[in-house]
Chains A and B, each alone.
Chain A
Amino acid sequence: MTLDQVIGAGVLAATLRLATPILLAALGGVVSERSGVVNIALEGCMLVGAFFGVVAADRTHSVVLALAVAMGAGGILAAIHAVAAIHLRSDQIVSGMALNILALGLTSYLDYQFYGNTGTPADLAGVPDVSLGPIAAIPFVGDVIGNQNAIVWVALALVVVIQAFLFRTVPGLRLRAVGEHPRAADTVGIAVRPTRYWAVLASGLLAALGGAYLSLSVAHSFTDGMTGGRGFIGLAAMIFGRWTPAGALVASLLFGYGTALSFSLQGASIGSVQVPVQLLSTLPYVLTILAVAGFVGRSRPPAADGLPYETEGHA
């Protein structure tokens, strides 16, 4: 095992690449749950984003249209969840899980219908990498960030944007109020349900962008269930990051690093002992369990998270 295998530029570049889809899902989770709606359908939103992004890229040969279609698909799935959770006041876990199963079945079925056994076409329009020119030439730094994908930069920018939105703007203040104490928000004239609809919709768009990143930036193809639970890991990153975009970024990088490490340490050994890669590759999942089980210290969700808002009706 060498130092390069642990904190080399290659590992760090991979960390950023692997963290991005988790981060986008986590940002979606932050926005949705800050408004008081638990959206575990983020996994499904990612998956439909990944699939319909590929379909649109194949048909239109336009990256921009592909991303728009991908996010639209995620938005539609999220909208269904929003109607169930906000309007019909159904159990948000059940609704989210049902939509995940729907997304898995739908994409798998359509994938077979459209592309049969041959797989998605090889010449898909992909999201380009961004070469930072002179910066790319700087040793180490250039190797880490010099040639990252455009969506990586978009995701990082979204961290700043959403952090500022939630904590530095009036609409952000209202969204947080709705997630903490919807009745209080209602009594001062804030529209609780519309706020939640927008938040859930935004979460679907964000997760779908993460899915499109997987299929259009990384794999350049679609395979069944290719999101592999990254939507759920994103939710863990959200909890780990205490429902803040900046925290979610740190947590996503940690998860990304765990995965990057498990790749780079393949076949490595300490002295004569082989590093157990299989064990290392469980690291993100172990971290997820720890995060969800609350081992990361007091991490408090928004007070009305997951609770439908009932209007005062009868005495």
Chain B
Amino acid sequence: MSAETSMLVDMRGIEKRFGDLVALRGVDLVVRQGEIHALVGENGAGKSTLMNVLYGLYRPDAGSIRIRGREVRIAGPRDAIALGIGMIHQHFMLVPPLTVAENVVLGDERGGPRLDRRAIESRVADLEKRFGIVVEPHARTEDIPLGLQQRVEILKVLYRGSELLIFDEPTAVLTPQEVDELFAIVRTLRDEGKTLILITHKLREVMAVTDNITVLRGGRNAGELVTRNTNPSEIARAMVGRELKELRARATPARAEVTLKVQGLEAKSDRGALALQGVDFDVRSGEILGIAGVGGNGQSELAQAILGLRRPTGGSIQIGGVDISKDDPKRTRARGVAYVPEDRHLEGLVLAFSVADDFILGKQDRAPYARTGVLDPVTILRNGGRLAAEYDVRPPNPKAIVGNLSGGNQQKVVLGRELSERPKLIVVSQPTRGLDIAATEYVHERLLEQRGQGAGILLISSELDEIRALSDRIAVMFEGRIVATLDAASATEERLGLLMAGHGEAAA
């Protein structure tokens, strides 16, 4: 096979502008037939834009695309599909109430206008057999776990005869075991002769499964690497453009006082099911307790119960020895509890407000921000400017509308508001979800700084790497209970993964 024909994708000098914003400034990408190619970079580096160009969702302003050596124009997803290009979207493009088989064939049902479910299901079953990807064809898509839904996405692409599969951040919603299963599928597909592009910023995954790496930074190429000849820190350097700071080894906290004590806590979910079934743990000052677990095992309800956003149906929550389980959020916060919620758009920020106004949410009724019920705009603005600078919000303009900031800068606004008043306890939920490496690093540093100042931190995260990097102790939640609490040192990924999946250690 000549070098020319083995080149499946050859994108040259791709440029893409959105108004004033230049997303791609002449990017090259070469992907060879039969390889697993990583496309890595920070948020905003242009990975997704480049792939959307390849998939026909965006038209490039300049540059050329060759597929198997032939120059092509890709005007829409239909063209891409016809060229054998398929995309597995990060937010699954599945219709939840339809069956697995219906989702796979949707838009390309074949056979007459009659919907022949049996024929469709047997066709999908054949496809599954061919690639060794198993999902019940007649299951309703919304009833199956995310890991299986992703397989439906993969089947959809294979059904349309794709030779090149683009995976957009495929592991963002998966458990460690599901990630392993996904990688097994990815390798099988490569062995079947498919070519795969993985968009990701998780370096461990890049190292584990890919053959070659293209790094983007700021809309430009920032490195072409061969996976087996490189290492994570070299990739990270290329992505960020500088050395990453090592998280300092931390001193174990001295025998500090208990900040938060939770005993036998029970609470119901929105649907009325028992989401917390007797949760016990404590957090000491100067300590980070990580709560690991697959999303939906009661973590959200736990955070809400502590904050007073959800009334517990049993058990107690004590801050400094005082039971707060019946307090509303205002009283809870007055005891020195800060909250970085999992969904900053829903719970953390008013997106239509200015940075300065979002900084004083929850404090708007007291001095110095308000006097006798009237807001003091000058003080609010000055406070906003000070915190924006202190927390490195970009742009550092207190009048900027929060909804227009990037995710990382929005999170800095939340941190600035929550951390600036010396909290005793910080409840942090998914603090780096959707953030890139630099913003993640920033959030982690701030949390460690708070820990150093003696705050107790309850860190809820579905990112195992994050939990392991920051926590002093790790508690694993499964089905509304803490199934184990481990010292960070003894918490291997494998052990945590098993606990998270409900395989408790009888002896532990």
Q: Which chain A residues have a beta carbon within 8 Å of chain B's beta carbons?
A: 167-174, 176-177, 180-181, 183-190, 303, 312, 314-315
| Mask: chain B, 238-271; 1 = CB below 8 Å from A; 0 = not | 0000000000000000000000000000000000
The reply to whether B106 and A188 contact each other, CB–CB distance below 8 Å, is yes
The reply to whether B93 and A189 contact each other, CB–CB distance below 8 Å, is no
The reply to whether B156 and A188 contact each other, CB–CB distance below 8 Å, is yes
The reply to whether B108 and A188 contact each other, CB–CB distance below 8 Å, is yes
The reply to whether B95 and A170 contact each other, CB–CB distance below 8 Å, is no
Kindly identify which residue among B77, B78, B87, B109 contacts A173, using a CB–CB cutoff of 8 Å. Answer: B109
CB contacts under 8 Å to A, within B65-117, are 77-78, 81, 87, 89, 92-98, 102, 106-109, 112-115
B228 vs chain A, min Cβ distance (A): 33
A210 vs chain B, min Cβ distance (A): 27
Identify the closest chain B residue to A172 (Cβ): B115
The reply to whether B21 and A315 contact each other, CB–CB distance below 8 Å, is yes
The 4 closest A-B CB pairs, nearest first, are A188-B107, A184-B93, A314-B18, A181-B95
Identify the closest chain B residue to A173 (Cβ): B115
A23 vs chain B, min Cβ distance (A): 24
A160 vs chain B, min Cβ distance (A): 15
Q: In the complex, what distance in Å separates the CA atom of A303 from the CA atom of B115?
A: 22
Q: In the complex, what distance in Å separates the CA atom of A148 from the CA atom of B270?
A: 48
15 extra interface residue pairs, beta carbon distance < 8 Å, beyond A170-B109, A176-B98, A190-B107: A169-B113, A170-B113, A170-B114, A176-B97, A180-B96, A184-B92, A184-B94, A184-B95, A185-B106, A186-B77, A187-B89, A187-B93, A188-B93, A189-B78, A315-B18
Given A169-B114, A172-B115, A314-B18 in contact, is the A185-B23 Cβ separation under 8 Å?
no
B residues within 8 A CB of A168? 114-115
B residues within 8 A CB of A169? 113-115
A193 vs chain B, min Cβ distance (A): 14
Q: In the complex, what distance in Å separates the CA atom of A314 from the CA atom of B21?
A: 10
Identify the closest chain A residue to B102 (Cβ): A173
Residue B370 CB within 8 A of the other chain: no
The reply to whether A171 and B93 contact each other, CB–CB distance below 8 Å, is no
Identify the closest chain B residue to A312 (Cβ): B57
Q: Label chain B's interface by main secondary structure.
A: loop
Q: Which chain B residues have a beta carbon within 8 Å of chain A's beta carbons?
A: 18-19, 21, 23, 48-49, 52, 57, 77-78, 81, 87, 89, 92-98, 102, 106-109, 112-115, 156
B residues within 8 A CB of A315? 18, 21, 23, 48-49
The reply to whether A176 and B23 contact each other, CB–CB distance below 8 Å, is no
Given A168-B114, A169-B114, A174-B107 in contact, is the A187-B77 Cβ separation under 8 Å?
yes
A121 vs chain B, min Cβ distance (A): 44
Q: Label chain A's interface by main secondary structure.
A: helix
The reply to whether B97 and A185 contact each other, CB–CB distance below 8 Å, is no
The reply to whether B98 and A177 contact each other, CB–CB distance below 8 Å, is yes
Q: In the complex, what distance in Å separates the CA atom of A145 from the CA atom of B374?
A: 70
The reply to whether A181 and B21 contact each other, CB–CB distance below 8 Å, is no
Q: In the complex, what distance in Å separates the CA atom of A171 from the CA atom of B78?
A: 19
The reply to whether B98 and A173 contact each other, CB–CB distance below 8 Å, is yes
> Which of B49, B92, B106 has the largest count of A CB atoms less than 10 A from its CB?
B106
Q: In the complex, what distance in Å separates the CA atom of A189 from the CA atom of B77?
A: 7
Q: In the complex, what distance in Å separates the CA atom of A180 from the CA atom of B21?
A: 32
A133 vs chain B, min Cβ distance (A): 34
A244 vs chain B, min Cβ distance (A): 12
Q: In the complex, what distance in Å separates the CA atom of A167 from the CA atom of B115?
A: 8
A residues within 8 A CB of B106? 173-174, 177, 184-185, 188, 190
Identify the closest chain A residue to B55 (Cβ): A187
A194 vs chain B, min Cβ distance (A): 14
B388 vs chain A, min Cβ distance (A): 24
A-B contact pairs, 27 of them (CB 8 A): A167-B115, A168-B114, A168-B115, A170-B113, A170-B114, A170-B115, A174-B107, A176-B98, A177-B106, A180-B97, A180-B98, A181-B94, A181-B96, A183-B93, A184-B93, A185-B107, A187-B77, A187-B93, A188-B108, A189-B78, A189-B81, A189-B107, A190-B106, A312-B52, A312-B57, A314-B18, A315-B21
Q: In the complex, what distance in Å separates the CA atom of A240 from the CA atom of B87?
A: 39
B25 vs chain A, min Cβ distance (A): 14
Identify the closest chain B residue to A182 (Cβ): B95
B392 vs chain A, min Cβ distance (A): 23
A residues within 8 A CB of B89? 187
Q: In the complex, what distance in Å separates the CA atom of A172 from the CA atom of B89?
A: 25
The reply to whether A185 and B57 contact each other, CB–CB distance below 8 Å, is no
> Which of A170, A174, A189 has the largest count of B CB atoms less than 10 A from its CB?
A170
Kindly identify which residue among A170, A173, A186, A314 contacts B19, using a CB–CB cutoff of 8 Å. Answer: A314
Q: In the complex, what distance in Å separates the CA atom of A260 from the CA atom of B112?
A: 44
Identify the closest chain B residue to A190 (Cβ): B107
Identify the closest chain A residue to B57 (Cβ): A312
Q: In the complex, what distance in Å separates the CA atom of A183 from the CA atom of B77?
A: 12
A166 vs chain B, min Cβ distance (A): 10
A199 vs chain B, min Cβ distance (A): 16
A residues within 8 A CB of B21? 315
B161 vs chain A, min Cβ distance (A): 13
B39 vs chain A, min Cβ distance (A): 16
Identify the closest chain A residue to B77 (Cβ): A187
Q: In the complex, what distance in Å separates the CA atom of A181 from the CA atom of B141?
A: 13
